[in-house]
Amino acid sequence: MKLSDYAQHLGISYQTAWRHFKSGKIPYPTQKLPSGTVIVDYVQDSGIAMKGNAAIYARVSSAENKDNLERQAERLTAYAIARGYKVQHVVKETGSGLNDNRKKLEALLKKDDYEILIVEHRDRLCRFGSNYLDVLLSRCGVSLDIVNKVDDKPDDLMTDLVGIITSFAARLYGQRRGKRKTEKIIATLQAADEE
């Protein structure tokens, strides 16, 4: 089949399939015709049959790491193809791992057209509570595939600690501000009742 058909069959973009062809990552025999067309000798009942639908989630903490986000998504796509998964979604998001209100991740978790969720590191999904998320996903019939299970470096742990302290401080000050607003509303209502 043509490279474009192969890409469509796997659910990846043509550009990603082209990069995989150029780097030799396609697990099937390929040939480039004199016309420039790339042919992939893909056989459905070969040893690398599609094993399930996968969703890829890539995340970085800040916009400064946008290049890393693209490379992370490409690595995960190559991993999924090598494992024989059909890629349904590739979601790339910029945001803190401590933020529990990430719109793209939330939208991905609401979809039901995949059985495998692939992330590069456990902390790319969330900094804390990923075991609970794994249990909930398995109840929904989705298995969590973490590619790199290496523990965090000390610098990452320090960054997490600073992030947690910042998060709790912001919530504490927000609660104080909210309490003052509530007291002000009550005082206004009481003054209106007295008139």
130-153 per-position pLDDT tens digit:
788 888 888 888 999 989 876 555
119 pLDDT exceeds 90?
A: yes
The pLDDT value given to residue 156? 62
Mean pLDDT over each residue of the chain, to the nearest integer:
81
Report the C-alpha gap between 108 and 116 in whole angstroms. Answer: 12
- Residues 38-63: pLDDT tens digits? 888 765 544 444 578 999 999 998 88
